[in-house]
Chain A
Amino acid sequence: MKKIAFGLTTVALSLAAATSQAGEVEVLHWWTSGGEAAAINVLKEEMVGAGHTWKDFAVAGGGGESAMTVLKSRAIAGNPPSAAQIKGPTIQEWGDLGFLTNLDDVAKAGEWDVVLPRVVSDTMKYGGHYVAAPVNVHRVNWMWANPEVFRKSGASIPTTWKQFIVEAKKIKAAGFTPLAHGGQAWQDATLFEAIALSKGAQFYSSAFIGLSDKALRSKEMVDVFDTFKQMREFVDPGFSGRDWNIATSMVINGDAAMQIMGDWAKGEFTAAGKKAGVDYVCYPAPGTSGAFTFNIDSLAMFKVDGKDKQAAQKDLARLILEPKFQETFNLNKGSIPTRLNMPRDKFDACAQSSMDAFLASSTTGSLVPSMAHGMAVNSMVQGAIFDVVTNFFNDESMTSKEAVDKLARAVKASM
């Protein structure tokens, strides 16, 4: 009896000792599809390697809407996770509410100001202090294509939206679905913003960042809606409500020719064992070759209690920006590292061209935040735009002129 009691005490003591040295991080994220799950696993392994405990808090759902709901309820209850996948203007909203912790010492030690491009580091700061660590940069204006389908239908890869319509008709006549698409509001908006970007980064910025009434009601915007409506006839009848990775699998299987989707789609191709340039090809969305709509994933750090938890949190922030993690994570996820001057030999052709475009567009001013992915406007304005865009895409009777008017009014009402 005594021996057992002694043994139990020892176990309890050693457990207590172990937990006080190594902290626990709880990370809320929505990286749940095949390629994404593999990518986040890298971070998990590194944290475990550093002696910490990783508590995974994954909430499924592509756009992260349900994850944000869970996060809000946890924050209101006074029990936020150590880190959460928050990005863009939402970081500022959380900062305003006073939930985020200061990471300046980690950032200073890791020279974040030097290794990160300005446009990235600015979004990671609240009131001049680092509160979040950037994980990757996604290019949203990508087009993924299955060359086999193009060959069978005798079409060529389009570089403008006009040409897209011509080629898509050929593909449709050959019995394939020209455009793999999922009819969820954010996917409609992704397609819509790619078309808007083809009118120039200047127009894009004044419409979706400046929210200028003039740009929203302009002739260009009417054109954008016209082209957008034409896409409706190139999607298959079952598109409504489909998840993005299912749409990607249509391109992978050779049922569909193209998909307009950010480079996280590449993770799906990789997970299916496909080779870039052979089984699938990547091109900038038609008419946007010089421009880059970015979507930066980041983990914002919340104020947590307990020295061990705080230490683990700092370690997490440090590890995210280390070159090793940046490389492995982004190879799995399909995105590009946020650090500049990374060795790029392991990355495929798509990622390399994305890195080139990222650098080039940041000097020409055509590096713009993605509206569809919550980088440009807050969730209220974004929601208002989504409503108009998705309603227009599905409502056959609405004209582009009406849509433009609705868009301008909806944006104004939500500000």
Chain B
Amino acid sequence: MNTKAANSGSGQTQSGRPARLSLADWMPKIVMAPTVIVTLVCIYGYMIWTAVLSFTNSRMLPSYDFVGFDQYERLFNNDRWMVALTNLGVFGGMFIAICLFLGVTLAIFLDQKIRAEGALRTIYLYPMAISFIVTGTAWKWLLNPTNGLEKMMVNLGFEDFTFNWLADPDMVIYCLVIAAVWQASGFVMALFLAGLRGVDGDLIKAAHLDGASIFTTYRRIILPSLKPVFFSAMVILSHIAIKSFDLVAALTNGGPGYSSDLPANFMYAHTFTRSQVGLGSASAMIMLGCVLAILVPYLYSELRGERHE
């Protein structure tokens, strides 16, 4: 038995060695191939298809009747699209700014070696575990002018208290900001907390010896060294802002009127419920443009960084 096994084993190694080596060479490629193909087709392929459709006059189902930039022209003449784009600017800007500010502040406070840090961190991070649909529905109840917050304040004796942002076309976008910030700022905090823990302790000690206050230490030494964390947080948050769809769908459904529409909701409504696949594809391409505008500088700086090393 033993000799047989040894023989056959050695026989295999002798005759099969080159074959095995090449199989081992091929293995990673074979394993990766399905993923690569699926990614190429399902992400890049459909991206190209959408781009093609945005130049056609597709209505209920895709057609290949090319009309040039007509759909883009119609898109930018469409009042609703302009509202959606403006909303993206307001929502995205405020969402990113407030999330970063709150996240950094919370992280710095948590970094002071306080008691029950683990529990606090979990409390702040937990909203991230909830989907935007749940967040939206919960805030819809809280902000509803006839029950929720307003009713609670009136019941408490503040008869004149009104809070009708959800029904006010000018203020509704801030409702979205509130809900989104509540959801994501804990995540930003976690990112920065990890970053803060990675800062070289000697640097901080040196600063202290030089007589810098805690505030100055953070402002001049620690936070500047967290630039990459800032950048990652920005990229992630702006992605969340641009692809925001579920939050609007659950919280306001674009209303009142269409005053809280975001581009993703516009795209969905026109492509899927209004039989305007061409127009919807054009709006999707603009959204892709927004994402690229953020992603390309990021990738560029990342790749350049590598080359330096």
Contact = CB atoms under 8 A, between A and B. Distances in A.
B243 interface: no
B256 interface: yes
B257 to A, nearest CB: 4
A75 B272 CA distance: 13
B77 interface: yes
Contacts of B269: 383
Given A76-B61, A184-B255, A391-B258, A383 B167 contact: no
Contacts of A93: 60, 275
Interface residues of A, number: 34
A240 B167 contact: yes
Interface in A196-210: none
A241 B253 contact: yes
Contact of B257 (A72, A75, A76, A390): A390
B252 interface: yes
A65 interface: yes
Nearest to B164: A237
A238 interface: yes
B74 A413 contact: yes
A387 interface: yes
Contacts of B275: 93, 378-380
Given A76-B61, A183-B255, A237 B272 contact: no
Nearest to A75: B61
A237 B172 CA distance: 13
B89 interface: no
A394 B167 CA distance: 8
Contact of B146 (A72, A238, A390, A394): A238
A380 B77 CA distance: 15
A97 B257 contact: no
Contact of A380 (B79, B167, B276): B276
Interface string A66-109: 10110010011000000000000000010001000000000000
A72 to B, nearest CB: 7
A69 B167 CA distance: 28
Contacts of B144: 238
A236 interface: yes
Most chain A CB atoms below 10 A, which of B74, B140, B144: B144
14 contacts: A65-B273, A68-B273, A69-B272, A183-B256, A237-B145, A240-B255, A241-B140, A241-B252, A379-B275, A383-B269, A383-B270, A391-B80, A410-B79, A413-B74
Interface of A: 65-66, 68-69, 72, 75-76, 93, 97, 183-185, 236-241, 378-380, 382-383, 387, 390-396, 406, 410, 413
Interface of B: 59-61, 74, 77-80, 140, 144-147, 164, 166-167, 169, 252-253, 255-259, 269-270, 272-276
